[in-house]
Structure 1
Amino acid sequence: MHGNSPKSLRQDLLKQRKKFAAGQNYTQTKDRLMAGLIQFLQRDGKSLSTIALYWPIQDEVDLRPALISWANQVSGRRLALPFARPDKHLDFYEWQDGEVLSLSQHGVPEPSPNNPARPAITPDCILIPCVGWSSSDLAGKAQFWRLGYGGGYFDRTLAQLRKNKPNLICMGIGFDWQQLNDDQWSAQTHDEPLDMLLTESGLLR
């Protein structure tokens, strides 16, 4: 049973993820999720030129191999990583495998905003790791919500980016067991919905 606050819920879920990542079924489950990502890249990736990924921390799924392969297949495709600004918004900067990154105040590797060779870019698609996730029904259409680490960086950033880029795709990355019901957690008014959610069971749109 989870605690009755978002903070204790996050702590419980992160402990569960650590245990899950060390379990015997993790590799098989992760491979199923990665297969879903590869399928998305093969089908929808043709219309994308820039995908923002995350640098995996705290047992998050490492998406880099599949995304690096996608970027290398066609000239002009780019990958980006987020940079956390002091005002708790994210900027995205082009990233290539092997580049040196710096640690943010939260200990997350991130690109330098002062590298003239790697300008800030607005991605077509953003892949966002979930600590937990939930779904709701709005007028017969499913909506997906992300429980993150509590900083609000992605919510503020998505709210701003969507004003300028309505066709932006925001995809949550998580596992089936991370799904939360209304008794455990429900999205707040400031939470930004996900356009898609990828788990080992497939891509939910």
Structure 2
Amino acid sequence: MNTPTARQELRQRLREQRAAVPAAQRIGAAVGLLEQLRQLPELTVDERIGAYFAVNGELSLHLVVAHCWRQGKQLHLPVADAKRQLRFARYTADTPVQPNRFGIPEPQVAANQLVAPASLELVLVPLLGFDRRGHRLGYGGGFYDSSFAFLQQAERPATPLLVGIGYSFQEVDTLAPESWDVKLDLIATERELIDCTQA
């Protein structure tokens, strides 16, 4: 599972599977995801939360975002730079957004309003696949791994807490991590909240 070809084949299979999810199931999954995340104490106590815009069939965070806004949380969405680094922009209902070069909507804010990943307390991370040990199969760009590389040297869980978000069918038995991969602390699906720190 650690060869580039095997990873690409798994990415393709999971993309196709995710794209085939019917609309009614997507809506139900968004409801289930919020129920699972509400079990997470950090969603209640943390103030600075990183999230993402769901694209290409990703499990939607729209109900989670609305819940966080109702709780007075500061929501931040990623903004990618040319060096494969993410910084995060405060996101409110009034924030203008525009697709980046990958077609992913990004908040349009001044550069001096972007915050570093380390300044967040809780980050909801998109993924293509995962295993219960907290290994994440991303999209191959390395943006999250490079941006949160500082956590590799930290005693986990640390700040920010990394929570992978995906459908339950995106679970695989095992993913062999690369040296640069940053583990997830937890994974939330529409069905359960998985604590990867015990694995």
Aligned to 2:122: 125
Is the CA contact (8 Å cut-off) linking 2:29 and 2:59 kept in structure 1? no
Aligned to 2:167: 175
Aligned to 1:106: 102
**Structure-2 change in CA distance of 1:92 and 1:164 (3 Å):** farther
Using the TM superposition, give the Cα deviation of residue 105 of structure 1 relative to its aligned residue in structure 2, in angstroms. Answer: 1.1
Between the aligned partners of 1:133 and 1:45, the Cα distance in structure 2 is 21
The one-character-per-residue Cα deviations of 1:64-97 (angstroms, maximum 9, x if unpaired) are: 23223323323xx300010001000100111112
Is the CA contact (8 Å cut-off) linking 1:134 and 1:186 kept in structure 2? no
Q: Which AA in structure 1 matches 2:168?
A: D
Between the aligned partners of 1:161 and 1:111, the Cα distance in structure 2 is 25
**Structure-2 change in CA distance of 1:152 and 1:119 (3 Å):** closer
Is the CA contact (8 Å cut-off) linking 2:87 and 2:114 kept in structure 1? no
Using the TM superposition, give the Cα deviation of residue 62 of structure 1 relative to its aligned residue in structure 2, in angstroms. Answer: 1.6
Is the CA contact (8 Å cut-off) linking 1:50 and 1:80 kept in structure 2? yes
Between the aligned partners of 1:123 and 1:68, the Cα distance in structure 2 is 18
Between the aligned partners of 2:194 and 2:9, the Cα distance in structure 1 is 27
The ranges of structure 1 where at least 4 consecutive aligned residues each deviate by more than 4 angstroms after the TM superposition are 23-26, 161-165
Between the aligned partners of 1:105 and 1:36, the Cα distance in structure 2 is 32
Is the CA contact (8 Å cut-off) linking 2:122 and 2:159 kept in structure 1? no
Between the aligned partners of 2:151 and 2:110, the Cα distance in structure 1 is 21
Rg: which structure is higher?
1
Q: Which AA in structure 2 matches 1:87?
A: K
Between the aligned partners of 1:106 and 1:149, the Cα distance in structure 2 is 12
Name stretches of at least 5 consecutive residues in structure 2 with no aligned partner.
none
**Structure-2 change in CA distance of 1:112 and 1:23 (3 Å):** closer
Is the CA contact (8 Å cut-off) linking 1:162 and 1:168 kept in structure 2? no
Is the CA contact (8 Å cut-off) linking 1:82 and 1:92 kept in structure 2? yes
Aligned to 2:55: 57
Aligned to 1:28: 28
- Residue of 160, 177, 188 corresponding to 2:178: 188
The one-character-per-residue Cα deviations of 1:94-146 (angstroms, maximum 9, x if unpaired) are: 11123211221111011235266x442521111011211113xxxxxxx3111
TM-score by length of 1: 0.81
Between the aligned partners of 1:82 and 1:179, the Cα distance in structure 2 is 24
Between the aligned partners of 1:203 and 1:22, the Cα distance in structure 2 is 23
Name stretches of at least 5 consecutive residues in structure 1 with no aligned partner.
136-142
**Structure-2 change in CA distance of 1:203 and 1:6 (3 Å):** same
Q: Secondary structure at the match of 2:38?
A: helix
Using the TM superposition, give the Cα deviation of residue 52 of structure 1 relative to its aligned residue in structure 2, in angstroms. Answer: 0.6
Aligned length: 188
Aligned to 1:7: 8
